[in-house]
A and B are shown apart, each in its own frame.
Chain A
Amino acid sequence: MTADAFIFWFLSLVAVTSGLSVVMMANPIYSALSLAMTMVSLAALFATLGAYFIAGVQVIVYAGAVMVLFVIVLMLFDLREETKAFTRGQVSGALKIAMIGFLAGLIVMVMAQGVKFLAAPDVVDAAKLPEDSSKALGLVLFNRHIFGFEALGVLLLVVAVGTVALARSKGGTHAKH
């Protein structure tokens, strides 16, 4: 086994294990911490592919900012009540099992189809990528995909405004007087 293969299998193992523990843990805080672990190992996987910029951004945005906020909010909840509501109930149990079946089917389908997708002619050759791929990424993002980029920006702004409006209308510390 080469070093690259070893690193890949190790990181995949970490990603899958921590991903599983996100759903298996009873306490939401540990779920969130496991999710952060998944993000970091995914970033490391990106780095092994030579996509250092995406790896860095993945860590900064998801692991460093979004998940920290999740953990902070979870720590402020009364977790005993949350845990009870989270694990009790037959309906949600049945839903969970159905979801696992659905996911397993999806994975099998993707694995069966994946070979065909990978064999498509416009697969990028990793060896041909430029040394500093962040520049190429920026050019593609701000030239070819500029509309999608800007549209996503507007969408996120709408979400932010909506959140503030909801928080102010439903009472709480920021309610309108």
Chain B
Amino acid sequence: MGQDIFEITINGIKLIVIFLLMVQAVPILVWVERRGSAFIQNRLGPNRVGPLGLMQLLADAVKFLNKEDFLPRKAVRALFYTAPVYALIPGVIAYCAIPLGTPLQIEAFEMAGKMWGPYTFAMQGFDIGVGIVFILGISSLAAYTILMAGWGSGNKFSLMGALRASAQIISYELALGLSIVGVIMLYGTFNLTDMVLAQQGPMSFSFMGNQVVIPWLPNWGLFYQPLGFILFFAATFAESNRLPFDLAEGEAELVAGFHTEYGGFKMLMFFIGEYAHMMIAAGLVTTFFFGGYLVPGFTPAEIREFVAQNLASTPNGISAITSVIHLLAYFVKFALFLWFFIHVRWTLPRFRYDQLMDLGWKTMLPWALFNTILTAVVIYVAYNFA
């Protein structure tokens, strides 16, 4: 984790900060979801407590913490209580691997009579070489949470919901994994930071020996993998159990699905887990297809140059302001996709279960396979026929 105690401490704090960021983003997203849904449906939504109804979140949190903690008679104690905790873990660990900005470089400095540094801190929880594989692996463990909750509740509706949810997650994981294969082939790496850096500058690629440059388009993965983008984005909706794929909850048929027996803070933890998966999905879409933390039209080197001339003079300041600019660019794209998730939830109706399975296995999986083969052929032709 680092070469000395300072670096290890900062890297540890970084993990905690990312966790807190994710957890703190949930109340805001809930507010956006409630107000947004209200405006979509021509209502006002919660607007009584505090300015714009923002204090409603605090009231809700207090309510959740004060609710009675009960165990259903037929529940399995160990599974019932551990499931909500497990709901948080995969989402948070996976999100830590997504790069949020250019690395922060700190010059050597003196503190407590000792020389420290120089340091380079990546703007992410940890930089892992096989980023995609890691994130897919960790977030695929979320199926156990749902199964544990469904079995541990000792309730038929919960079990039905859990079975539906996990069957759905497994089915869509195939389409999800295959739709990224094109992206991996395009960038030639598993590492998310390398993928982001491959998308900088205006669109340029070599095709059959000619260098093509399109100055008015950014070099984003979206323009190389449009089909991959559609498939990936649709599959992430299913993975995070959001409408139109929220058959696990299906309140008309299953009360509330796998969390029927949960109340108070335990239910809130499932809620946070679902939002964490939404955030991973938004972060991954941004990273794969929309240039990650890059500012469209500018490379990180150009931004650094601009900051050095206009905003800061010390190397530490230049690096910090550059990182913050990229962080903001990342969060703008990230927020747009989160809004898209919310908008879709209040726009589309729910699928029927057989339609869901048909879409996953008979439509998205073949198209993802086709995208993989097409990408392979195009890359081969582009590089080998000059």
Residues of A within 8 A of B (CB): 29, 33, 36, 40, 43, 52-53, 55-60, 63-65, 68-69, 71-72, 75-76, 131-132, 134
Q: Is the CB of B148 within 8 A of A53?
A: no
Q: For A37, give the chain B residue with the smallest CB separation.
A: B144
Q: With A52-B134, A56-B133 as given contacts, are A68 and B159 in contact (CB-CB < 8 Å)?
A: no
Given the complex of chains A and B, what is the CA–CA distance between A59 and B167 in angstroms? 17
Residue among A52, A56, A71, A132 with most chain B CB within 10 A: A56
Ordered by A's residue number, 20 sampled pairs between the chains whose C-beta atoms are within 8 Å are: A33-B148, A53-B130, A53-B133, A55-B137, A58-B137, A59-B138, A60-B137, A64-B143, A65-B170, A65-B173, A68-B144, A68-B147, A68-B169, A71-B144, A72-B147, A72-B166, A75-B150, A75-B159, A76-B163, A132-B130
* List of B residues within 8 angstroms of A29 by Cβ: 151
Given the complex of chains A and B, what is the CA–CA distance between A27 and B144 in angstroms? 17
| Residue of A55, A65, A71, A132 touching B147 (CB-CB under 8 A) | A71
Q: Is the CB of A60 within 8 A of B167?
A: no
Residue among A58, A65, A68 with most chain B CB within 10 A: A68
Given the complex of chains A and B, what is the CA–CA distance between A63 and B139 in angstroms? 11
Q: For A64, give the chain B residue with the smallest CB separation.
A: B140
Dominant SS at the A interface? helix
Q: Is the CB of A64 within 8 A of B130?
A: no
Q: Is the CB of A59 within 8 A of B137?
A: yes
Q: Is the CB of B140 within 8 A of A75?
A: no
Given the complex of chains A and B, what is the CA–CA distance between A32 and B191 in angstroms? 32
Top-9 shortest CB links A-B:
A64-B140, A56-B133, A59-B137, A60-B137, A56-B137, A52-B130, A68-B143, A53-B130, A56-B134
Q: Is the CB of B163 within 8 A of A72?
A: yes
| Residue of A36, A57, A131 touching B137 (CB-CB under 8 A) | A57
B367 interfacial by beta-carbon distance below 8 Å: no
Q: Is the CB of A59 within 8 A of B129?
A: no
| Residue of A52, A57, A75 touching B128 (CB-CB under 8 A) | A52
* List of B residues within 8 angstroms of A52 by Cβ: 128-130, 133-134
Given the complex of chains A and B, what is the CA–CA distance between A68 and B190 in angstroms? 25
Q: For A73, give the chain B residue with the smallest CB separation.
A: B163
* List of A residues within 8 angstroms of B138 by Cβ: 59
Q: Is the CB of A57 within 8 A of B141?
A: no
Q: With A43-B137, A52-B128, A72-B147 as given contacts, are A64 and B163 in contact (CB-CB < 8 Å)?
A: no
**Residues 255-275 of chain B: 1 if any A CB is under 8 Å from the residue's CB, otherwise 0?**
000000000000000000000
B65 interfacial by beta-carbon distance below 8 Å: no
Q: Is the CB of B129 within 8 A of A40?
A: no
| Residue of A60, A65, A76 touching B133 (CB-CB under 8 A) | A60
* List of A residues within 8 angstroms of B61 by Cβ: none
The tally of residues in B whose CB lies under 8 Å from a CB in A reads: 27
* List of B residues within 8 angstroms of A40 by Cβ: 141
Given the complex of chains A and B, what is the CA–CA distance between A75 and B129 in angstroms? 37
Q: Is the CB of A63 within 8 A of B141?
A: yes
B136 interfacial by beta-carbon distance below 8 Å: yes
Which B residues, 161 to 212, have Cβ-Cβ distances below 8 Å to chain A? Answer: 162-163, 166-167, 169-170, 173, 177, 190-191
Q: Is the CB of A60 within 8 A of B128?
A: no
Given the complex of chains A and B, what is the CA–CA distance between A126 and B173 in angstroms? 33
Q: With A53-B133, A76-B163 as given contacts, are A60 and B140 in contact (CB-CB < 8 Å)?
A: yes
Given the complex of chains A and B, what is the CA–CA distance between A113 and B150 in angstroms? 46
* List of A residues within 8 angstroms of B190 by Cβ: 53, 132, 134
Q: Is the CB of A59 within 8 A of B163?
A: no
Given the complex of chains A and B, what is the CA–CA distance between A18 and B190 in angstroms? 31
Given the complex of chains A and B, what is the CA–CA distance between A94 and B49 in angstroms? 69
Which B residues, 120 to 142, have Cβ-Cβ distances below 8 Å to chain A? Answer: 128-130, 133-134, 136-138, 140-141
* List of A residues within 8 angstroms of B163 by Cβ: 72, 75-76
Given the complex of chains A and B, what is the CA–CA distance between A56 and B358 in angstroms? 28
List 15 extra interface pairs beyond A56-B136, A59-B140, A65-B173, CB under 8 A.
Answer: A29-B151, A43-B137, A52-B130, A52-B134, A53-B130, A56-B133, A56-B134, A59-B137, A63-B140, A68-B170, A69-B170, A71-B144, A72-B147, A75-B151, A75-B163
* List of B residues within 8 angstroms of A71 by Cβ: 144, 147, 166
* List of B residues within 8 angstroms of A134 by Cβ: 129-130, 133, 190
How distant is A83 from chain B, measured CB to nearest CB, in Å? 14
| Residue of A33, A55, A60, A132 touching B144 (CB-CB under 8 A) | A33
Given the complex of chains A and B, what is the CA–CA distance between A118 and B140 in angstroms? 35
Given the complex of chains A and B, what is the CA–CA distance between A76 and B150 in angstroms? 12
Q: Is the CB of B167 within 8 A of A56?
A: no
Which B residues, 309 to 350, have Cβ-Cβ distances below 8 Å to chain A? Answer: none
* List of A residues within 8 angstroms of B169 by Cβ: 68
Given the complex of chains A and B, what is the CA–CA distance between A126 and B128 in angstroms? 18
Given the complex of chains A and B, what is the CA–CA distance between A58 and B140 in angstroms? 11
